[in-house]
Structure 1
Amino acid sequence: MYSQLIDEGSYEESGRRPDVHQVKDLRRSGPGPYRFATICLATLCAILLISIIAVTAHYKSKPPPAAEATAEMQKENANVSALMASITKLQQENKQLQKEKEELQVNLTSIMTAKATEATCKPTRAPIVCPTNWHLFNDSCYLISKDRKSWSVSQLYCQRQGGHLAIILTAEEQTFLWDLLPRGHWNSYWFGITDGETEDEWKWVDDTLLVGGFWEENEPNNHINEDCGYIVKTQVMERVATKSWYDAPCSMVLPYICEKEMGGTTQ
């Protein structure tokens, strides 16, 4: 309309009026900028209205600051209560552990006292001292004789010394005695084993049965009524201690090995 008024004014200044057909043509030429501006304005209004509604709804749904502070405080109080409960539980457990520790200390003191009393009351064992020319191994003393006797006379001699012909039960004991023997062409020594009562039933002088033994290969063979055992050590270096037993007639005259158990004395 403003442009039309300007146009009409210009026409009046010029002394001419527009033709009716020209005016109609101007109105039909299109919507012009006014309709576009109206649409934009309406759109902006709608957007603004939607934004206002959204903000209002947000603030309505959000709790007021005072309510937020109250909720946060309640949460902190709950955390503090849980922490205090944990502390109380730990204190109770610590008290229980202290009690158990004290009980263990009392028991330990009792045990240590009992052991100390036992050690004081228990008699001590005197060191074993073997007679002259006797050799100590474990709790026994051994004599390697230099004179020669028959098997039975050798046993009688050892008994007079408070012992008997040697009873050899372990490889360690056998090796110990073997190492004491001198090497020679056929050095042989009686020890305390015989099958004189029952053939092939070898027994020690304390009447216990032989288990195993350290026989040479193919021994014992009872070649000529051989009922007594002896140890042989020769100059042949290949011979070993654990294969050195032979059987021989008990009447043979040989050196011998006596054994005397030394249980020790108490003080």
Structure 2
Amino acid sequence: MSQDVYANVNRAAKRGERVEVEVEIYESADSLTAQNVIRKQEDTNTNKTTQSGDTAGSRSCRLAAVFLGMLCVLLLTAIILLWFKFDNLNTEIDQLQTSYTNLAAERDQLQTSYTNLTAERDQLQTSKSNLTAERDQLRKERDVLLEYIPELSQKTQQVWRYFRSSIYYISTEERSWYYSKTDCGVRGADLLIINSREEQEFINKELGSTEAWIGLTDAVTEGVWKWVDGSTLTTEFWAQNEPNNHEGNEDCAITNFSRAKFNNASTWADYPCGHHVSWICEKRLTGL
């Protein structure tokens, strides 16, 4: 309480008056005054605290906003870098795919080349084997010829020709088919028997434009042509419209028929057996 209050109380006490109510009033007033002062102080403190809190919260929000902004920038930068990296990876993948395709094509080309080279190697090996066999055959034929040729006279050696496994005598005179057949027998041979186109072409080359008897006849059965060794005709080189038995007795065959006139390299015709032309004897060499 204030000094005035105490003084009033003392005076009242001297007078014997009741001061209880006044004291209480003063006390209440003082209490209210003190409480108001406290409240004002508390309100002031509260305002200061609130203002301080508001300031700290604002700062926190600003810091959070700055942090989030920086984080967004970092994320955007990372995304851009990853995008460029992804684009580069796609480019590298395309390049690798192109390289793989090119390598696959080169591999296929190499495989094809390898296959072709293998086939060529096999062909060369086959050719080598064939040439080796032909060489051996020629050596064998040479050895056989060396056995036969010395037995022939010098004149005879000049008219005998060699082809594959036979030697051929081409006459320089013209006689009938029967005479020609007998002459070949005397020489240890037969009238020519042709078994292949190669042999026919060899004979044509040797004869030139000369016609000659061959060992083919149908004298036994008309139209059934057989060789002088009794074998049936299988390979034929008749000229056009031949054989025709034109005079009714054309039972013997010649080769090189009218070659000079028709320029035909492989032609046979039937002639009367008594007609006179050259002849060809064939002697097959044994051991070939």
DSSP 3-state at the match of 1:191:
strand
Q: Does 1:139 align with 2:165?
A: yes
TM-score normalised to the size of structure 2? 0.49
Distance of aligned partners of 1:158 and 1:236 in 2 relative to their CA distance in 1, 3 Å threshold: closer
Deviations 1:27-76 (A, max 9, x none): 44264458999xxxxxxxxxxxxxxxxxxxxxxxxxxxxxxxxxxxxxxx
Q: Which amino acid aligns with 1:216?
A: A
Residue 4 of structure 1 is matched in structure 2 by: none
Residue 231 of structure 1 corresponds to 255
For 1:180, the aligned partner's letter is E
Whether 1:25 aligns to 2:48 is: no
Residues 154 and 256 in structure 1, CA contact (< 8 A), matched pair in contact too:
yes
Structure 2 residue aligned with 1:241, among 244, 262, 265? 265
> Which sections of structure 1, spanning at least 5 residues, go unmatched?
1-17, 38-123
Q: Determine the C-alpha separation between the residues in 2 that align with 1:232 and 1:34.
A: 135
Q: 1:237 to 1:197 in 2, by over 3 A?
A: closer
SS in structure 2 at match of 1:259: strand
With over 3 angstroms needed to count, the CA separation of the structure-2 counterparts of 1:213 and 1:21, relative to structure 1, is closer
Q: Give matches, 1:186-197, under 5 Å.
A: 187-197=210-220
What are the superposed Cα offsets for residues 94-125 of structure 1, whole Å, 9 maximum, x if unpaired? xxxxxxxxxxxxxxxxxxxxxxxxxxxxxx66
Higher relative contact order (CA 8 A, sep 6+): 1
Q: CA deviation at 1:25?
A: 2.5
Matched, 1:175 2:163: no
The Cα shift of 1:22 comes to 2.8
Q: CA deviation at 1:166?
A: 0.4
State whether structure 2 residue 179 is matched by structure 1 residue 162.
no
CA RMSD of aligned residues (A): 3.3
User: Where does 1:111-126 land on structure 2 (aligned, <5 Å)?
Assistant: 126=143
**Which of 125, 128, 143 is 2:145 aligned to?**
128
Question: Gaps (5+ residues) in structure 2?
Answer: 1-35, 57-139
Indicate if the aligned counterparts of 1:181 and 1:233 stay in contact, CA closer than 8 A: no
Who wins on radius of gyration, i.e. which is larger? 2
Q: Which residue does the alignment assign to 2:178?
A: 152
- Write out per-residue CA displacement over residues 68-100 of structure 1, whole angstroms, 9 at most, x where no aligned residue: xxxxxxxxxxxxxxxxxxxxxxxxxxxxxxxxx
Distance 1:148 1:237, change over 3 A: closer
Aligned residues: 162
